[in-house]
Each structure stands twice: as C-alpha cells, then as structure tokens.
Structure 1
C-alpha cells in the first residue's frame, strides 16, 4: 500500500468541528465528476444483469483509499464490491454505505447523447446511472477521500456495500448478502437520489401477472361468447389508480396500482379466449404480500363472474424509520451543514428495506439527484448536487461516532 493511501495514525482530530470543516473543504469537484463519468462508462445494465464491468474500477478506487476490499458473487458476473476503512475489531461503531451498481436498460435512439458516455453539459453529468445511482456512490467515495486527504480519520469504521441487482429486486445483491450473514452495522446510509433530503419512509410493491380467460368465437357475433379482452378491460378500469381503502400515510399517501402491460387475442375477427395483464401494486410499510394480494382480488371479484388467475412475481416490502430516531436527527444536522435538508418519504423502494425490516439497522436514504430523472432518457445529475452530497458524506464520516444511537 502506498503512503498516499494510508490513513492518519492518530484519530485525535476525528469528530471535531475543525476536522469536519477540513474534510468538507477538501472535496474535489473534478475528481468527483471524473469518477461519476468513469462509472457510467462501465455498462452494468440489468436486465440482463452483469455488474462485472465496474467491479475492477471500484476495487481499485477503494483499495487506493486504503480500504480492505473483497468481491461477493451470488453467481458468475453478479458481483458486489465490499470495502471497509477502519480496524473492524469491534472497538468502534460501523457505518454502512449501501449503493447499487446496476442500472436499468437504455434505448440510445431516445437519448440526445450516448447513454454510456458520461457527458458533462450545462453543469450536469448525463448518462445511464448518473442519477440512479452511480453519482450517489461517487459522492460517498469522494467524501471518504476528502477525509483521507484532509488527514481526518473517520470517527467510525466505514463499510461500503456496492451491490448488484437492486433494479430487479436485489436477490443477487443486498438480499444475497443478507442470506449470507454479511451485513453488520450500527447505522446505514443509502445514497439513492433523494434531492439531498433525508429519506425515512418508502413504499413497497407487488408485481403480479393476471391471466383472464374467455371463450373463443367468431368476431361477427362477440355477444355469443365471452371475450377475455372485454373482461381484462373491466379489470384494468377497476384496478388502475384504484382506492384500496388503505389509511393515508403522512409521507407516502395511499397505495396505487398501475396496469402496465396488456397482452391478448389472436386476430381481430376472433373473440379473445385469453388476455394477460401485468400490474404494479404499491404498498405501505407493514403490509404483507397476502394482504396486498387479497386487496387486488377483492376489487376484481367485485366485478362479478370473471374467470382469472393471479400470480405474484415480485414482492418488495415498504419500510420506514421513525422521524424522531436519533440517527435521523444526527443526519439532519450533519447533512444540513453542507446544505439545508429536510425529512421526506419516497414513492419508490430501495435496498434500505433489507436493513430496516430484516436487520433493524437504522437506515436513511440520502443522495444527489431526483427520482424524476431516474430511468429516463438523458438521465442526469447536477454537478453542484454531487459536490453538496460529497461534502455531507465527508461531514458524516468525520463525525459519526455512534454515541447518539
């Protein structure tokens, strides 16, 4: 290990006001933008799912920072990078940074620039994953580098889980680490795009396939038989944006349902014998898969005698942390020193749910960018937001000592 990658031997400056100011001041915009661009240029589209293009880059970056690094694979090419800065001897608290390195597919013809070029234009980094969430990961890494360069030893052991597969449910990433017993921390920050707010609550989701069955007949006499397309249309009207009678969550509102895909029929002159729907039913924290499935069935069954079969494909639980939790209060203060921030909820789901629901690790979402730009053509993140987030992470690493937990 080169001398440039060693941390200060003394931690006497850790946690002091001077240390955090020095760390914030050492954040480099150029270095941060270049790392964001470099990550975007490694195509990690999921599906099909292959995070290996960015693993070497991240391993090299984290090792240069003096971190112990390791690769975790649930199967070939589904790799996560685990990195830790600190002694990990149990003498200090552990702060986990969990961020996903996979991205959703991009259709180049819909973009004004190549989606994996990492173009910088008008103060924004443009590219698939710029916002969701390679920019957030780069900001957290830059925060750690700023501490190192300022001679500030973090007040806690810092662990990075840069994981595979969040975009399709996390089974090859955070969920696999959970099953393997590899997640231990006193607190966690997930740098998903959250407009630099402290995310404390998020919806979950149930994805399901609904097969609607009818009886085929001649298109000249549709009333003589049963059209699956007609019944599927009734289900679509009933489910789409339905009110399921759930109580209103103060930050998440009421759950929604989107009928996103319809496939049915064989020809215009044949009454359809089958029509299939794909739905996305959002949920609130605490709701179970069976409860949500029953709520969808109740709506469909209220329509009368429709022959259908519903098969759940993915269930993602909602999650939350109390707004008055000490870790939330700490982050409001720490991140607020970089820029004013607030507590909010999210209509989307993140890997924070694994730490909150399964391990009871206090977890918040804090990162640059907006979900309004995620998954879009010309996805982008502001350079100023990246720098603000990096300064916030530098403050967190310099000051979080777990004492308020």
Structure 2
C-alpha cells in the first residue's frame, strides 16, 4: 500500500487553492461543488448539508467493518487577504504556484492540503476495494475561520452519529496534537458622556474608561491556571473603536476581547473575571458603565491517552516511518465542536501553523503526500 498518487494529489490541491473561498464573507460554494463532485466521482456516499444560504457542508462516507466510525475533517474556507498583505506576496495568493518543493497560495497550509490528502485517501481505498476497519467519514465544513457554523450544524447530526473519533487535518507538520487550547471572545461596550474636546474633565471620555479595563486586565495573569504542557491562559484586547468626530469627547467605546485558555480554565471563568473588573471600576469612577457581549465560547480539551484514535495514529505513524511527536494545538478548530458529542479528537495534518494567515502561505508538497499515506493507514488500522 505504498504507491502514492502524487500527480492526482498535487493537481487536486492546486485546484482547491485556486478557489477564492474567503470568509468572511463566506464564499465557500465553489469549494463545496469541487469537494462534492470529487467524492461522488470516487463512488462514495455523499451529501450536501445546508447551513445557510449558499453555504453547505459536505459529508462523504465509506462503509467499513465497524460502524463506530472515524471522521476526517477539514474546513473549506480561508481567511481574507488584505490590500496591505497582498503587496507582500511573492505570488498571486489565489493562483497555486509551485516553487522548489513548496506550493504557495492562500489555504495551502490552512487547510486545503489536509482536506485534499484525506479526500484522496478515501478515494484510494474505494478504488482498490480496500474495506476500512470502521466507517470512514469525510466532513468538509464551512465557516471555521469565523463562527464555526459548519461544525455546529453537524456535531449532533444523525449523518455522523456513528462516528466516535475525529481526526482534524489542520496543519501540525504531522505532529500529533492530543489537546487544544480553548478560546472565548466578545465585545465590551463602555459608556461615557460627550463634551466639547476643548474642555478637559467635564465629560466622561469612554476611551479613558476603556483604559481602566485594560489596566485591570494586565493585573490578572491567570497563573493559577498554568499547565505544564500548555503554559497558562492569557487574554488581550484585539480591537478598539470609539469617537464621534475630532472635537467631541467620545461617549461610547467598544473593545474586542480575546482569551486563549488552557485545560481547566473555562470560558465562563473569563467572563466572571471581566464582570468583577467592571464592578470594581464602578466603585472608583462615578458614572462608569459597561456591558459584555459574549460572541463565542470554545472550551479547551485533552483526549485520554488510552483513546483508540491515539493508539491508531501512533501505530500508523510507525508504519509510515514517520516520527511520533506529541504536542498541543495553540488555536481552536472544528474538533472543539465535534467532540461535544462524546467523541475523541486528535489534530494532525500537513503544513506549518507559523506561515498561515499571512503573506506567502505555503505547504511542503512531500509532506502532503506523507499525510495521504498516513490517513489511508489510519483508515484501515483497527
């Protein structure tokens, strides 16, 4: 089982990277059509699952010996390319370009290469009439880069209810991530009072009040949640918006707050801390008022070391003559959502997380071939 269809893998990956599937706004439909057609042509059971207008997940299934299946999942959307960023690209980000052993393009690492490798692996088993050890599902999702609507629509679906394990094909340089940080984010709305910009101190400047929140955030280092494998949790403001016009003291300020969490530190803990900060500032600054809008809560997780999927990937890596390096994933993925239905999750895929969401995103082509080989071994491993 060592023959690798390199040309097919590379041509499919090029076709995927050539598709501009940026999100927001959510332009995944050409990717949906490509994934759907490829899997149908491979002779697999395939369904499009409606999530929102012009936005569908794709599920493909290959029946195996055991109905307790494994999901291989990847998202079809990519982050946008800003006007400033595009000037720093050495290639057109939506025209897959091979330079030396690398394929350049938006989504090459995050994460069309992993999705591509899993798709070709399923097709390979079908063509060779190899019956996998258990039912295999390919789950291609929309909206992972924003609100994860795709995985949220599928997590409890009857279409994948038999699946007990999940392989998230995100870029890890083929290292095994057996856990992931959590994330929660939201808006803080700070209210002050307007006044003339020439009159200092007669109004409550909402930006000054927002500064009080930032000062208090810096004092809370979450040391008590430190984890030997994950480090410690942290939070930070990622955006601020305020101002009426240059001569008016702003009476409103919005801050976007983002927190990254280690296992044992839950999203609810973060917003309790923020509530405390707001209440404490109210005692000091008369007229201070602020409210919280939580946009999303993604809990951190760790998979039990004895889980079958971890045994599977370790055995498969050995058979593929690949090193078995265990680590944790610093971001959040669809795996966070899919595991809520009592599934064991790992993250392993081609590509390097350090080169994504930025100019000159690339993936090492031989590593994509290795991912294909690994995934097909995992699909037949008990």
Report the TM-score, using the length of structure 2 for normalisation.
Answer: 0.90
Instruction: Name the SS for the 1:271 alignment partner.
Output: coil
1:298 has 2:273 as partner: no
1:355 has 2:338 as partner: yes
Question: Which residues of structure 1 form unaligned runs of 5+?
Answer: 1-21
1:159 paired residue among 117, 126, 137: 137
- Give CA deviations for 1:109-135 in whole Å, capped at 9, x if unaligned: 342221111111121111111111111
* Greater than 6 Å deviation, 4+ residue runs: none
User: In the alignment, what sits opposite 1:11?
Assistant: none
Shift of 1:288: 4.2
Alignment of 1:179-328 (within 5 A): 179-184=156-161, 185-239=163-217, 242-285=220-263, 287-303=265-281, 304-305=284-285, 306-328=288-310
Rounded Cα–Cα distance in structure 2 between residues aligned with 1:140 and 1:309:
44
User: In the alignment, what sits opposite 1:71?
Assistant: 48
**Structure 1 residues 182, 85: CA separation in 2 closer, same or farther (over 3 Å shift)?**
closer
Q: Quick check: 1:232–1:275 contact (8 Å CA) kept in 2?
A: yes
Rounded Cα–Cα distance in structure 2 between residues aligned with 1:282 and 1:264:
25
Rounded Cα–Cα distance in structure 1 between residues aligned with 2:208 and 2:164:
54
Q: Quick check: 1:243–1:256 contact (8 Å CA) kept in 2?
A: yes
**Structure 1 residues 353, 381: CA separation in 2 closer, same or farther (over 3 Å shift)?**
same
Alignment of 1:10-29 (within 5 A): 22=1, 25-29=2-6
Shift of 1:287: 4.4
Shift of 1:246: 4.0
**Structure 1 residues 222, 337: CA separation in 2 closer, same or farther (over 3 Å shift)?**
farther
Alignment of 1:106-145 (within 5 A): 106-107=81-82, 108-145=86-123
Alignment of 1:41-56 (within 5 A): 41-56=18-33
Shift of 1:265: 2.0
Aligned residues: 373
Shift of 1:250: 2.9
Shift of 1:191: 0.4
**Structure 1 residues 242, 130: CA separation in 2 closer, same or farther (over 3 Å shift)?**
farther
**Structure 1 residues 182, 317: CA separation in 2 closer, same or farther (over 3 Å shift)?**
farther
Q: Quick check: 2:63–2:136 contact (8 Å CA) kept in 1?
A: yes
1:394 has 2:369 as partner: no
Q: Quick check: 1:194–1:370 contact (8 Å CA) kept in 2?
A: yes
User: In the alignment, what sits opposite 2:313?
Assistant: 331
2:327 paired residue among 344, 353, 361: 344
Instruction: Name the SS for the 2:158 alignment partner.
Output: coil
Shift of 1:393: 0.9
1:97 paired residue among 64, 72, 75: 72
User: In the alignment, what sits opposite 1:13?
Assistant: none
